[in-house]
Amino acid sequence: MAVEEHKRERDPRTGHMMTGHEWNGIKELNTPVPRVVWIFLILTFLFGLGYWIMMPAWPIGTTYTKGLLDTNQHKIVTAKVQRAATDRARWTDQIAARDIGAVRADPALMAFVREDGHRLFGDNCAACHGINATGGQGRGFPNLTDGDWLWGGSPDEIAHTIAVGVNSPASPETRVSQMLAFGRDGLLDNDTVIAVATYVQSLSDPASAKGKAAAITKGREAFAANCAVCHGPQGHGNQQLGVPNLTDGTWLYGGDFDSIYTSIYEGRHGEMPAWEHRLTPVERRILTLYLLDKGGRS
């Protein structure tokens, strides 16, 4: 009975009907949904409908409704990748076709080399040679920016080192370098290794020879007999064999007495991977240009 009465009741203040619900004297108005909400709902519904029609939407078995606009993210990405490749090819084609000197003289090409070379170097070489190509001090990874080359610093020599590597099992044509283990393999007794290490240290650090005249003399003789064949009579090294210069103060494995002693006693066997199967010829050319540009001129 009470509900029936309320239902017919109109709120005198707002003019709205009542729902007929009542809680402890609080009555509920039957206000309509505001127009703005209706409009919003209708617009979103229409938008949804339009979107289904225009864009890819519903799965049907093995395919789907393609939509009138024929938008396909796959196609868009493929086109973008293709455009980027064409952009890149504009540069790489020129780098592959022109000679090294001409590329180096072209500022636009070199700007590309610096950017792309930095990326290639970071992805493939930096783990060993360091992000700035300055090498790992004392760990056998040479500095590639100091103009001091084990294997020669001409564009052809650098490109060849990158292609075939050094002592790399991955390339049959790899460069081969071997510093013998004179102490461990018993080629020299320990006293002689100490003497020759003392002599070698004195080549770049004359002050270290002070008070060691006997060892220096013994070391010099042992050097002439055992080492000069590779390192040269004056210790200047040999780029044909990747043999380092021992007189210039630049060290692969460290120039303190202990490091030099270890090099002679244990031998060294630096290994640089071959990149001929992992990088394209033009990528290797970009890296060669990148290193030449870094200041690694011979």
| Token output for 50 | 């339009």
CA gap 97, 264 in Å, rounded? 45
Annotate 6-29 with b (16+ C-beta within 10 A) or e (fewer): beeeeeeeeeebbebeeeeeeeee
CB of 139 to ligand HEC, least distance (A): 8
| Token output for 279 | 């990088």
| Interface residue with ligand HEC, options 91, 168, 202, 275 (CB under 6 A) | 275
| Per rule CB under 6 A, count of chain residues that contact ligand HEC | 49
Cβ atoms within 10 Å of 210's Cβ, excluding its own: 9
Query: Of 11-19, 23-31, 69-77, 257-265, which segment contacts ligand HEC by CB under 6 A?
Result: 257-265
* Contact characters 189-208, ligand HEC, x per CB under 6 A: -------x---x--------
By Cβ distance, which residue is nearest to ligand HEC? Answer: 270
Question: Residue 95, interface with ligand HEC (CB under 6 A)?
Answer: no
CB of 61 to ligand HEC, least distance (A): 49
Burial-class residue 191 by CB neighbours within 10 Å (0-12, 13-18, 19+): exposed
Place of tokens 């044909």: 240
Question: Residue 142, interface with ligand HEC (CB under 6 A)?
Answer: yes
Residues with Cβ within 8 Å of 229's Cβ and at least 6 positions away in sequence, in order, are: none
Question: Residue 179, interface with ligand HEC (CB under 6 A)?
Answer: yes
Residues with Cβ within 8 Å of 147's Cβ and at least 6 positions away in sequence, in order, are: 153, 295, 296, 297, 298
Question: Residue 268, interface with ligand HEC (CB under 6 A)?
Answer: yes
| Interface residue with ligand HEC, options 91, 141, 215, 286 (CB under 6 A) | 141
CA gap 234, 286 in Å, rounded? 36
Question: Residues 145, 151, 153, 154: is their CA dihedral positive or negative?
Answer: negative
CB of 233 to ligand HEC, least distance (A): 12
Question: Residue 164, interface with ligand HEC (CB under 6 A)?
Answer: no
Question: Residue 274, interface with ligand HEC (CB under 6 A)?
Answer: no
| Interface residue with ligand HEC, options 9, 22, 173, 271 (CB under 6 A) | 271
| Interface residue with ligand HEC, options 18, 109, 166, 215 (CB under 6 A) | 166
CB of 74 to ligand HEC, least distance (A): 33
CB of 43 to ligand HEC, least distance (A): 58
| Angstrom distances, CA of residue 270 to CA of 17, 138, 165 | 93, 12, 10
Site residues, ligand HEC (CB under 6 A) = 124-125, 127-129, 140-142, 144, 149-151, 158, 161-162, 166, 177-180, 182, 196, 200, 223, 226-227, 229-231, 241-244, 246, 251-253, 260, 263-264, 268-273, 275, 287, 291
